[in-house]
Amino acid sequence: MTQALFYDFPPASKEAWKNQAAKDLGGQDFDQALKSLLWEKIQIQPFYTREDVLDLPRLPENSFEDKPFLQDFSARSWSNFLAVYPSTPIQEIMDFLENGGEGLVLHLKGDENLNELLKDVIPDYISIMLKPLGDPAQVLEHFMTWVHEMGVEESGLTGGLLWSPMDMLFEQGKSWEEAISAFRRVFSCFPNERCFHACMFNFSRYAEAGASGLDELIFGFGEIIELIDKSGIDPITIFEKSGFYTSVGDLHFPEIAKLKAIRFFYAELALQYNVGLRLEDTCVFAQTSGWSKSTLDSNTNLIRQTYEAMASILGGANGLWVRPISGQKATELELRVARNVSFILNYESYFGKVGDPAAGSYYLDTLITQLINEVKSGLQELEKNGGWLVAFESGMLHKKVREHRQKQQNSILSGEISKIGVNKYPASDYLKNNLEFSPILEKEYELKPSRASYLVELQNQTGA
């Protein structure tokens, strides 16, 4: 019996497939009809074959985490996070943790009664991300005081500070010197544990403000280079005690490639500073995107956040935060759905059964390599023009992000780009569930979160 299923079928070359496609197009130009452009720089082929990856470097597989010690453990694991505010009732927190939740994002000012807010929470059994609403060092010290009072060993903590010094520049208008001072202060008082991160480089700020995925990586890694070169902190300390905070949008496969490229390029960047960094030691914390959502017919957001969560897991996120667009104002249904997305993907769709299902994809491996090469070129151009800080202070960085944002928003307003529930297939009045709309006002130094559908939402408000 012949073992090979396709023994009688010789392998077809890529050129043969292209010729067949050209024939089926009936005279249309192959490139114009089937090729597309991702993030204005990367050409996407209609199909990929083994020939496309023959000359590419071999990408590591299953590099998101250390392999489990026991055979029966899941091949792939991630932590499902819930946002906790000072007003969040303890019953909601415990209901989440007792039903499979593994992590909390604590929004803190540094003066909360944590014994009351986190009553019955055992910090060394879960991951905790601290989202400072004020001075990050004060928030950290306040949290660590509570940890010590609980009798928890620092070595048992996982998570970190969901903060980057550049947050102070973009959100508070602080100077570079003030941001670096805060960065040093945080690092000096941080627990000496690699599983609890002193800084999470905030790539999400660019994605949420409307930047392309490519610019998100270029400006994000530009921040890292600026910090390493000018903070005075040993590079090995920064690389080992930092992680990534990113948003995953609605371009499914490019977002998977983006997350993988972050991990691979970070290790490559570390080598430039003579730091050996294992891919498994890099923490990637991913949230579902607010940029891709809409206040119009919010029911469609539930679908979008599901496949964004899928891309996060397939891309190698260690922590997943499914964020309702309404934030603190989210309804009980929105909160429950957001909490359960990760559970469904893990326990019903079995995403945890395979370590790296996207590994070996001709398309993704090609895309990851293209992304990394474009990031290198973009960083070289950025450094040639003075570096990240010069781009920030001159406004060039803001200008580039805002130009891409406006282009995307105008394309959706004109109908050039289709968005379900916004400019295509709007819900009937009976089913429509619009959210509260608030204008987005941005200061010169800010990059505020926006939405691709913002201009359509604004038009809907004015009735134009």
pLDDT score, position 68: 56
What is the rounded distance in angstroms from the CA atom of residue 17 to the CA atom of residue 2?
Answer: 26
* pLDDT surpasses 90 at 153: no
> Would you say residue 110 lies in a domain?
yes
Say if CB 392 and CB 226 are below 8 A apart. Answer: no
Q: List the alpha helices (DSSP H) in 285-427.
A: 299-315, 332-347, 362-384, 388-394, 396-414
Lowest mean pLDDT among 103-117, 214-228, 426-440: 426-440
Distance CA 353, CA 372 (A): 28
Return the closest-CA partner of residue 35 out of 27, 43, 26, 23. 43
Q: Nearest 10 degrees: CA dihedral of 83, 88, 91, 94?
A: 30
Whose CA is closest to 177, among 187, 169, 189? 169
Residue 262 to residue 372: CA distance in whole angstroms: 8
Which DSSP symbol is given to 192?
Answer: S
Q: Quick check: 209 and 401 in contact, CB under 8 A?
A: yes
pLDDT band at 74 (very low <50, low <70, confident <90, very high): low
Nearest to 451 by CA among 298, 285, 310, 309: 298
Q: Are strands 36-38 and 242-248 parallel, antiparallel or unpaired?
A: unpaired
Report the mean per-residue pLDDT for the chain: 89
Q: What is the mean pLDDT of residues 160-164?
A: 94
Tell whether 255 is covered by a domain: yes
pLDDT of residue 371: 97
pLDDT of residue 435: 78
Q: Residue 401: inside a domain, yes or no? A: no
pLDDT class of 337 with cuts at 50, 70, 90: confident
User: How is residue 382 written in tokens?
Assistant: 């950025």
pLDDT at position 12 is 83
Nearest one of 163, 155, 175, 176 to 137, comparing CA atoms: 163
Query: 99 φ, ψ to 5°?
Result: -115, 30
Quick one: DSSP state of residue 447?
A: -
Our count of domains for the chain comes to 1
In a domain, 326, yes or no: yes
**Which residue, 376, 372, 374, 458, is CA-closest to 413?**
458
C-alpha pair distances (Å), 52 with each of 49, 158, 200, 240: 6, 40, 34, 34
In a domain, 331, yes or no: yes
- By the 8 A CB rule, do 254 and 232 touch? no
pLDDT at 160: 92
- Domain CATH for 300: 3.20.20.240
pLDDT at 1 over 70: no
Of 142, 146, 145, 148, which is closest to residue 111 (Cα–Cα)?
Answer: 142
Q: Residue 463: its pLDDT value, please? A: 60
Give buried/exposed letters for 278-287 (b at 16+ CB in 10 A, else e): ebbbbbbbbb
Phi and psi at 152, nearest 5°, equal -90, 135
Q: Does residue 435 or residue 412 have the better pLDDT?
A: 412
- With 90 as the cut, is the pLDDT of residue 24 above it? no
Q: What is the DSSP string of 216-245?
A: HHHHHHHHHHHHHHHS-S-HHHHHHHEEEE
DSSP element (H, E) containing 177: helix 176-188
The partner residues of 243 in beta bridges, in order of sequence, read 200
**pLDDT for res 3:** 63
Checking if the pLDDT of 324 tops 60, the result is yes
Beta-sheet pairing, 36-38 with 42-44: antiparallel
Does 61 map to a domain? Answer: no
Q: Which domain holds residue 178?
A: 79-353+361-367
- Residue 86: inside a domain: yes
Which pLDDT score is estimated for 72?
53
pLDDT tens digits, 250-292: 999 999 999 999 999 999 999 999 999 888 889 999 999 999 9
CA distance 378 to 402: 18
408 CB-side CA count, 13 A: 24
CA 201, CA 11: separation in Å to the nearest integer? 45
In tens, the pLDDT along 47-60 reads 898 988 888 888 88
Asked whether 241 and 190 are in contact (CB, 8 A), the reply is yes
The whole-number average pLDDT for the span 148-167 is 90
Question: Quick one: average pLDDT of 122-129?
Answer: 92
pLDDT tens per residue, range 377-415: 999 999 999 999 999 999 999 999 999 999 999 999 999
* Separation between Cα atoms, residue 289 and residue 454, nearest integer Å: 14
Cα 337 to Cα 319: distance, rounded to the nearest angstrom: 17
- Amino acid, single-letter form, for residue 218: I
Dihedral sign for Cα 367, 373, 379, 385, please: negative
Question: How much is the pLDDT for 431?
Answer: 61
Tally helices (H) and strands (E) across the chain: 17, 11
DSSP of 5-56: TTTTSPPPPHHHHHHHHHHHTTT--HHHHH-EEETTTEEEPS---GGGGTTS
Residue 316 is predicted with a pLDDT of 93
Q: How many residues are recorded in the chain?
A: 464
424 located within any domain: no
